Structure 1
């Protein structure tokens, strides 16, 4: 079998892109052109930020955000190939200067795309040092620049988070690690990142338990590990209140990968965990549909479940290939799936202070700088279309009315008594003895699907 050499390190030297020049030359501010032709891809054909729907603008409903890790730290490398996404502002080092240049490129991108929010892990923006003191100093320096650029471009931080999974110290978990020294490292990292998120005006703080799970049950004390994870969350609540950070705390469910099993498996699992440990008043959920499908659910399932139970805080709006068994983080382009998500968001009155964060990466074959814009534009247009469709579905009232009719028996009499938790088993028996066998009604699934397709 032949071996292949890696691609060239960069298409042009980082030094040729000056801090005062453009990182995306030839690409201007993305505008709204509803009559643009099929080949015009550097414009919005559906996303009109100022358009009002049900009393809010599209911008208010959708609250789009770009993630830093995939968009500006992704290289296109995979287990079978070298990096393919060689950005012109990168010099191949992990230096502070390279990190600053990368951040300036990121904010130019956000500005030209017209997105008002961004998200990042601590390690995305600042290199890790040899000591905690050095690491924190690096983060302070880069967050100073972020604060300056946020002000310059009118960009806000949707949420910050700590990377508690990439460093080898976390190979056995962070909060769930069997070594309290490693737990302390995770706690110190969360403390600092809560401070940075507050400094940057972040509206939320998120936890994703990348390695909070197990590979083998044989060497794992599941109860102690979950107890320890809850302990870190309680420390975070206490420190959040101590420093006066008013943002929403979020947990992002995922069933597996990189671990065989993760404790935050899906929305219902996380909600059960929060209630078990008395954390349900302080946390909501950030739902990633690609994770939902990895758990074996439909695309919209966790969004709807979290929303109906009062726990939907934000959405990582991506998708995956359902024929694959891993997290592919693709840009969402399916209008039907997006409509089901937007219907749930409209029904709960919006996502604020959360938003729709594009936790997505361009394919390793999509190597042009233009592809960074085209991918986000396509996804934003998908959700803009979905917002309009979902609003019409709800405004027309046909589908909601049919659902309400399906459960009309619980609106009065015995059904209402059941819902109010006032009924007894003796009453159930008496009702059946009096009325006999129930007349079973058709679920009309195909009719519901046909009506929905008429909107999409």
Structure 2
């Protein structure tokens, strides 16, 4: 049933690359087969609740620019209307999944009991809408950064009562996610970090965060939730330094607290850039460490030093994203969540649709390019051949700890080893990538 917010727009069709219809997909054809799998099943698109239906268009120097009929959503009537519009949008885009924070979908009360009551009501509303539309939940998460009680962190807060409150929030939101058959649960430590070392005990806060995450994992198993627990790395903003700086930092934290086999990562392109990495670096690192889970797709403005959360618009950037995801066997339970928002001057309702149409088309083009690179085999074959020497018996013995430095020295002297460099052919490989863009 139409809410009227988007006018008389029909569900977005696929019309092919020659289409000039701004309300049609040119490249995203959900049923197109790519490497033996439907495109929809490869990409697993999700539309987020927060940027689309909560953010009012503010920035550090300006106030609200979006005029939405459910703002300020400070009562359940407006929250229900917001849900009506959200699921209409998911259906128009034919998006298979959505994502949300508890804070996004209901009023925010001082009382935990009131917040829990309203979240349970929205859970039931979501369940009915999911059944009616077929839209599924990719993941849920708890907002533990917006309210002033979290100004010094949630799990890492110096006040143990805030730690306890955060634990209650996660319990509530994880159970809602589980009841809605969510496929993952995400923790984003928006304020798990520090502003100054002068008032921070790093060892204490690391111990708190480690115990908190272990409690989350323990509760996952207690309630029978089979989805992934995901951490979303981010280096800074809003804090000066966040403890989940990047994938490698998160892996070190997981190992330190015995969680490397329990928790994976949800990697965002904009956060990777803030950490001084490329998106594909973070994905490849997570895959190599065995903790790759899911992605938030967006981009940053390279002239701004903060997280601008723009919709992807470059096939060349996104193609390598999917190349490394496909090389790792695909998403599994993860997916492509559009953690992206309109520019504050894009104020019309159909701007929400066109932004996602463009982003979904970019991802579809990038997926096809990545699949072609893998199917041709030049790139993976080159890497395999480059490291082929490590398959020899002697090389394997070195890796297995069967050789000492004395052994290596003796062999170099006995065989008069004089290894010669071999070209890495970077430009040749870059040219191959560009062949598919």
Q: Which category of TM-score, normalised to the shorter sequence, fits these structures?
A: over 0.9
More displaced stretch, 72-81 vs 164-173? 72-81
Counterpart of 1:23 in structure 2 is: 5
CA contact (8 A) 2:268 2:279 kept: no
Counterpart of 2:91 in structure 1 is: 111
Counterpart of 1:435 in structure 2 is: 416
After superposition, the Cα gap between the structure-2 partners of 1:254 and 1:153, relative to the gap in structure 1 and judged at 3 Å, is: same
Counterpart of 1:164 in structure 2 is: 144
CA contact (8 A) 1:23 1:108 kept: no
TM-score (norm 2): 0.97
Counterpart of 1:343 in structure 2 is: 323
More displaced stretch, 245-254 vs 399-408? 399-408
1:361 aligns to 2:318 (yes or no) = no
Provide, for residues 246-270 of structure 1, a one-character-per-residue CA deviation record: whole Å limited to 9, x for no partner: 1110000000010000000000000
Q: How does 1:15-414 map to 2 (within 5 A)?
A: 21-37=3-19, 39-87=20-68, 89-414=69-394
Provide, for residues 342-385 of structure 1, a one-character-per-residue CA deviation record: whole Å limited to 9, x for no partner: 11111121112110000000110111111111111111111111
**Counterparts of 1:376 and 1:422 in 2: how far apart (Å)?**
54
Provide, for residues 315-357 of structure 1, a one-character-per-residue CA deviation record: whole Å limited to 9, x for no partner: 0011112232111111111111211111111112111211000
Counterpart of 1:11 in structure 2 is: none
CA contact (8 A) 2:15 2:24 kept: yes
The offset of 1:49, in angstroms, is 0.4
**Counterparts of 2:428 and 2:291 in 1: how far apart (Å)?**
30
Matched residue SS, 1:123:
helix
More displaced stretch, 262-271 vs 308-317? 308-317
The answer for unaligned runs of 5 or more in structure 2 is: none
The offset of 1:52, in angstroms, is 1.1
Matched residue SS, 2:279:
coil
After superposition, the Cα gap between the structure-2 partners of 1:21 and 1:169, relative to the gap in structure 1 and judged at 3 Å, is: closer
More displaced stretch, 354-363 vs 122-131? 122-131
Counterpart of 2:396 in structure 1 is: 416
The offset of 1:91, in angstroms, is 4.8
Aligned length: 436
Provide, for residues 14-36 of structure 1, a one-character-per-residue CA deviation record: whole Å limited to 9, x for no partner: xxxxx864321121100111144
The answer for unaligned runs of 5 or more in structure 1 is: 1-18
CA contact (8 A) 1:129 1:138 kept: no
**Counterparts of 2:282 and 2:73 in 1: how far apart (Å)?**
39
Provide, for residues 52-98 of structure 1, a one-character-per-residue CA deviation record: whole Å limited to 9, x for no partner: 111210011000000100011111111211211112x3254511100
